[in-house]
Chain A
Amino acid sequence: MMAYIVRRMLYAIPILIGVNIITFLLFFVVNSPDDMARMNLGMKRVTPAAIEEWKAERGYDLPMLYNESEAGAGQITRTIFFQKSVKLFKFDFGVSDSGRDIGYDISQRMWPSLAIAVPVLLVGLALNITFALLIAFFRATYIDFWGVVICVVMMSISALFYIIGGQYLVGKLLHLVPISGYSTGLSAIKFLLLPVIIGVIGGIGAGTRWYRTLFLEEINKDYVRTARAKGLSEQWVLFGHVFQNALIPILTGVVAVLPLLFMGSLITESFFGVPGLGSYTIDAINRQDFAIVRAMVFLGSVLYIIGLILTDISYTIVDPRVRLS
């Protein structure tokens, strides 16, 4: 297995280089270093000299990808792309274009993101599995029919609707929790309740329907028929056999998203005023802060690759028949 993991990590290097190149190209197609300087220096009384100074300070005065004025390796290394990308592979995110240390900011802002993402994942998982089992138990009845209909309706509604509707109903009309905001320590609970509830409700439709499909697929297998033939009750068949076997795709799916929990939710954090990594990324895009954007895309890619490797490993744990080679 170790050889497999090492191989997968080596595969990750060209992927990350590719991601870096694409991020770089996409960003600089829309923004030029001059635009970034203007954005940072303000809109009024910005002189060309100040722009040049700003670019030089941050290394944006170099050519983008190829430096004709240099010789040898300098033609590649003395470019914006090389100078900005190499450090990322050492996980040195550097400073943002506004001068803040990105690594420090990430370390501070991942906790609010996790404070929402982890409860949403755990509570959502428990609820989705419960509902899916319930629907699977009552398969081919009106409960199954209406359950699926409700799931389809719920998964068709935009996340934004859940957020605005939830804030309006729970925060504004019922006055039960603050509409938005965040705090640290125990007082964070009242701010987290609403985004977590909305996150869970927003995921019920898709999650329940997906898990129901997994359970129904298992229910029709031979070992279930055998269990029933042995005279086991339906509950025991469902919880003792079907549930355990259906857990394999559920767990591997969950493991894949675990690392990405750090990245936060862009919309939820923005609407609830949660200072997590999701709002950090959105702010950086709006402010044309390339340093943060590339750092967050790189981090997201790394976490995604880690998630996939963990998924493969988790297969071997939950299903002993699987061997990584």
Chain B
Amino acid sequence: MRVRLIKLRGVCSLLLIGMLLTGCDDSPWNSPHPAGEMSSQVLYRSFSERPKHLDPARSYSSNEYEFIAQIYEPPLQYHFLKRPYELVPLTSEGMPQVAYLAADGKPLPEGAPVDEIAFSDYLITIQPGIRFQPHPLFARDESGEFLYHQLNDDQLETLHTLDDLPVNGSRELTAADYVYQIKRLAFPRFHCPIAGVMNEYIVGFKALSEHLSADDKRLQKMTGQERPYVDLREYDLPGVEVVDNYRYRIRLKGKYPQFAYWMAMPFFAPMPWEADRFYAQPGLRKRNIKLDWYPVGTGAFMLTENNPNLRMVLARNPNFHGESYPEVGEPEDIAAGLLQDAGLPLPLVDKAVYSLEKETIPYWNKFLQGYYDTSGISSDSFDQAVQFGDQGEVGLTESMRQKGIQLTTAVQISIGYFGFNMRDSVVGGDSERARLLRHAISIAADYEEFISIFANGRGIPAQGMIPPGIYGNRPGPEGVNPYVYEVMDGKPKRRSIDEAKALLQQAGYIDGRDPDTCKPLVLYYDAVATGPDDKARMNWWRKQFTKLSIQLVVRATDYNRFQEKIRKGTGQMYSWGWNADYPDPENFFFLLYGPNSKVSGGGENASNYANPEFDELFSRMKNMDNGPERMAIIDQMLEILRHDAPWLFGFHSKAFSLSHAWYHNVKPNLMANNTLKYKRVDPDLRHESQLAWNQPVLWPVIGTAVILLLSLIPAVVLFRRRERSAAR
């Protein structure tokens, strides 16, 4: 009877606690999200690392773009559905009008030779009526003065977040806001990562940068402030001008067709001058309230909760200018249900909640419980989620299918490669001997195996620099690298190790021995490998070189030292990767352009490869429009690279992502970052699934409590016996 009573009390207590914790609603006990939110159009996502910057002049990484691309709107964007990737207007009225000018300023006809083009003018017309999100920095009093541009001590005393400023304002977006932002890119204080690129192209950009740098230092000395307010409107940038309220013009040196891609990145999003004025107040900086953390834009969403240590919330911008879901896509998009929302006003969700998840295990488990709508697949959970069929086709495991989870894959616009330092006396240089050695290694390094072992099959071996889907990549047999592969049954097959050995022998290394010393050839691989997980990878690389009887010495180091070696050119061989900024072959070929050498030019050419013929072709190709002539040059460039082999071309990784059945409009777009507005959820299905998957299981708790209580009985018996016993 007593045990039953205890049991009953335990159950009641647990139920009471459970009800208290869940706020007496019908959401599961283990729901990490606030009660009541689950049944609305809210997306749940995660981020693993706190974004460093949310200022569009500074941000340059995907985890930062995840937020700011939804808030800031550059003039252009990528079409959500169309492939190959296509630029379409975002805030602009149509695509920019491009005019080419000769050195004397006279207009040139379309199709004028590149050599004659001294300047390119981009005229951008923005749509009228676009307004910035509600924000205190725009708030004005009745007399038209800004309410919060000169906060006094009393106001600052109670100020902890922007929500503590009760009045919001807004104003219309103008062309001047775009021009202002381009001036910000030139301001050294903002450390814009693409300032170096823009120096080369935008007329007057470098001069403005130097002018601003000098003035900033002077102002710092004058005011004694670390970051005094600098009104960029007072500075002139000859290459960028406001034509009228809705039009602005950018003048570039020469022809640079890739500039349009830059205009689809947040760097070129508008910034109101009021933002810099407002956030320059020292009292706000002391409270970590600054533009780098509190963005202000015109996009579909605005940041309403900014706690990067816990969660960030993007909510629908009530002033959003309006945009519709695309009505055209690719033929298969209709069958995939991607055009069901065609024509609907964007955004389709009211809110997106991003929670910080540093560890993969809790994150994965919460996805399986239905508390995140979408997830990547870590290597720990890969086998649980994905299985390969007999023909190597990718599919989901039974447990995933039962939950209605969908798998989406896409080849990323990136390359992971193994590079040779071309300044090295053994593997580098343009000697035939070194070239043959590089070719032999290219064949021996079995990237198919590498992908299978270390990437869970998530990748495809690269035949050159350009990933599939990017102009210049030739699919099928004609795109195969003939130095490493042979074509069999229309498919590439890696050449045999005997061929590699023969090449090594031609290079003078008989049985892998250095002819000068008669000792086995020893090569050095500088790798970022600091953890125990890297050991298998390093052993794999040793095994590849052992196939050629070459001894590989792995010089494992941390990323800082690795970068230093690459910078100084002291490494011999290394692995690295590149994610494209935009879908153009120029953004890959520049990685091996001679003047971009890491050692001599501080550029991105980590192999320090220099081939005058390649460089000359690159200079021609980069300014050309896509067409047969450009394709022919790209083919030539690829042939040079395959012949010289400064890299083992490695692989293009494949992104695998999972999403629940209630998550709609999933189509990987690896160039666009502002795709949140296209996503939709079915909150009812999500809620039902969460309830079904997360019913609390109480019997083990009750059982454990009963066992613990029962285990006390012998102790009580012992205690009583001891109390009754006579003293000894």
A313 within 8 A of B: no
Judging by beta carbons under 8 Å apart, are A172 and B191 in contact? no
Closest partner residue, chain B, to A164 (CB atom): B361
Contact residues in B for A143 (Cβ distance below 8 Å)? 714-715, 718
Question: Contacting A41 at CB < 8 Å: which of B193, B309, B698?
Answer: B193
Judging by beta carbons under 8 Å apart, are B288 and A104 in contact? yes
A83 within 8 A of B: no
Band of interface residues on B: 35 or more
Judging by beta carbons under 8 Å apart, are A271 and B602 in contact? no
Least CB distance, B369 to chain A, in whole angstroms: 7
A241 CA to B244 CA, complexed, in Å:
89
A270 CA to B700 CA, complexed, in Å:
28
Judging by beta carbons under 8 Å apart, are A189 and B365 in contact? no
The winner among A40, A41, A138, A175 for most chain B CB atoms within 10 A is A175
Closest partner residue, chain A, to B23 (CB atom): A187
A99 CA to B21 CA, complexed, in Å:
38
Contact residues in B for A137 (Cβ distance below 8 Å)? 719
A45 CA to B355 CA, complexed, in Å:
30
The winner among A54, A138, A178 for most chain B CB atoms within 10 A is A178
Judging by beta carbons under 8 Å apart, are A174 and B696 in contact? yes
Contact residues in A for B371 (Cβ distance below 8 Å)? 178
Judging by beta carbons under 8 Å apart, are A42 and B61 in contact? yes
A134 CA to B708 CA, complexed, in Å:
14
Question: Which of B26-34, B382-390, B667-675 faces chain A?
Answer: B26-34
**C-beta contact mask, B192-220 vs A, less than 8 Å → 1, else 0?**
01111100000000000000010000000
Judging by beta carbons under 8 Å apart, are A234 and B696 in contact? no
B654 within 8 A of A: no
Contact residues in B for A54 (Cβ distance below 8 Å)? 191
**C-beta contact mask, A21-41 vs B, less than 8 Å → 1, else 0?**
000000000111011001011
A20 within 8 A of B: no
A228 CA to B348 CA, complexed, in Å:
78
Contact residues in B for A109 (Cβ distance below 8 Å)? 309
Interface residues of A in 142-159 (CB under 8 A from B): 143
A173 CA to B310 CA, complexed, in Å:
25
Judging by beta carbons under 8 Å apart, are A176 and B362 in contact? no
A273 CA to B356 CA, complexed, in Å:
7
Contact residues in A for B365 (Cβ distance below 8 Å)? 167-168, 171-172, 179
A30 CA to B50 CA, complexed, in Å:
23
A57 CA to B581 CA, complexed, in Å:
28
Judging by beta carbons under 8 Å apart, are A138 and B356 in contact? no
B290 within 8 A of A: yes
Contact residues in A for B23 (Cβ distance below 8 Å)? 187
Interface residues of A in 36-54 (CB under 8 A from B): 38, 40-50, 53-54
A100 CA to B604 CA, complexed, in Å:
30
A279 within 8 A of B: yes
Contact residues in B for A138 (Cβ distance below 8 Å)? 715, 718-719
Contact residues in B for A53 (Cβ distance below 8 Å)? 188, 191, 213
Contact residues in B for A272 (Cβ distance below 8 Å)? 362
The winner among A43, A168, A283 for most chain B CB atoms within 10 A is A43
A280 CA to B356 CA, complexed, in Å:
13
A101 within 8 A of B: yes
Least CB distance, B448 to chain A, in whole angstroms: 28
A283 CA to B52 CA, complexed, in Å:
12
Judging by beta carbons under 8 Å apart, are B723 and A234 in contact? yes
B486 within 8 A of A: no
A88 within 8 A of B: no
Judging by beta carbons under 8 Å apart, are A271 and B191 in contact? no
A171 CA to B31 CA, complexed, in Å:
10
Contact residues in B for A178 (Cβ distance below 8 Å)? 30-32, 366, 371
Interface residues of B in 519-569 (CB under 8 A from A): 558, 560, 563-564
Contact residues in A for B31 (Cβ distance below 8 Å)? 178
A181 within 8 A of B: yes
Interface residues of B in 206-254 (CB under 8 A from A): 213
B150 within 8 A of A: no
A312 within 8 A of B: no
**C-beta contact mask, B246-286 vs A, less than 8 Å → 1, else 0?**
00000000000000000000000000000000000000011
**C-beta contact mask, A250-268 vs B, less than 8 Å → 1, else 0?**
0000000000000000000
A182 CA to B292 CA, complexed, in Å:
24
A197 CA to B61 CA, complexed, in Å:
38
Least CB distance, B189 to chain A, in whole angstroms: 8
A189 CA to B17 CA, complexed, in Å:
10
B interface majority secondary structure: loop
Contact residues in B for A44 (Cβ distance below 8 Å)? 60, 193, 581, 604
A218 within 8 A of B: no
A183 within 8 A of B: yes
**C-beta contact mask, B271-313 vs A, less than 8 Å → 1, else 0?**
0000000000000011110101100000000000001011000
Question: Contacting B32 at CB < 8 Å: which of A105, A180, A283?
Answer: A180
**C-beta contact mask, A177-207 vs B, less than 8 Å → 1, else 0?**
1111111000101110100000000000000
Question: Contacting B30 at CB < 8 Å: which of A31, A48, A104, A171?
Answer: A171
B701 within 8 A of A: yes
Judging by beta carbons under 8 Å apart, are B715 and A167 in contact? no
Contact residues in A for B285 (Cβ distance below 8 Å)? 101
Given contacts A172-B369, A175-B695, A271-B359, contact A99 B290 (CB under 8 A): yes
Judging by beta carbons under 8 Å apart, are A48 and B560 in contact? no
A173 CA to B361 CA, complexed, in Å:
14
Judging by beta carbons under 8 Å apart, are B696 and A179 in contact? no
B722 within 8 A of A: yes
The winner among B52, B61, B355 for most chain A CB atoms within 10 A is B52
Interface residues of A in 254-311 (CB under 8 A from B): 270-273, 275, 279-280, 283, 287-288
Interface residues of B in 341-363 (CB under 8 A from A): 355-359, 361-362
A134 CA to B28 CA, complexed, in Å:
38
A325 within 8 A of B: no
Contact residues in B for A100 (Cβ distance below 8 Å)? 288, 293
Contact residues in B for A172 (Cβ distance below 8 Å)? 365, 369
Judging by beta carbons under 8 Å apart, are B286 and A180 in contact? no
Judging by beta carbons under 8 Å apart, are A167 and B286 in contact? no
A175 CA to B581 CA, complexed, in Å:
43
A177 CA to B18 CA, complexed, in Å:
9
Least CB distance, B137 to chain A, in whole angstroms: 19
Closest partner residue, chain A, to B576 (CB atom): A43
B697 within 8 A of A: yes
Closest partner residue, chain A, to B192 (CB atom): A50
A233 within 8 A of B: yes
Judging by beta carbons under 8 Å apart, are A42 and B193 in contact? yes
Contact residues in A for B196 (Cβ distance below 8 Å)? 45, 47, 49-50
Interface residues of B in 636-668 (CB under 8 A from A): none
B13 within 8 A of A: no
Closest partner residue, chain B, to A50 (CB atom): B191
Judging by beta carbons under 8 Å apart, are B310 and A275 in contact? yes
B431 within 8 A of A: no
Closest partner residue, chain A, to B368 (CB atom): A172
Judging by beta carbons under 8 Å apart, are B30 and A179 in contact? yes
**C-beta contact mask, A78-117 vs B, less than 8 Å → 1, else 0?**
0000000000000000000011110011000100000000
A34 CA to B698 CA, complexed, in Å:
55
Judging by beta carbons under 8 Å apart, are B29 and A176 in contact? yes
Contact residues in A for B155 (Cβ distance below 8 Å)? none
Contact residues in A for B361 (Cβ distance below 8 Å)? 164, 167, 271
A42 CA to B65 CA, complexed, in Å:
13
Closest partner residue, chain A, to B14 (CB atom): A176
Given contacts A40-B52, A50-B195, contact A275 B287 (CB under 8 A): no
A70 CA to B98 CA, complexed, in Å:
55
Judging by beta carbons under 8 Å apart, are A180 and B362 in contact? yes
Contact residues in B for A30 (Cβ distance below 8 Å)? 558, 560
Give chain A's interface residues, CB within 8 Å of chain B.
30-32, 34-35, 38, 40-50, 53-54, 57, 98-101, 104-105, 109, 134, 137-138, 141, 143, 164, 167-168, 171-183, 187, 189-191, 193, 233-234, 270-273, 275, 279-280, 283, 287-288
Query: What 5 pairs between A and B have smallest CB-CB spacing?
Result: A275-B309, A181-B32, A190-B21, A35-B560, A178-B32
Q: List 5 A-B contacts (CB under 8 A).
A: A42-B60, A45-B60, A48-B602, A174-B701, A190-B29
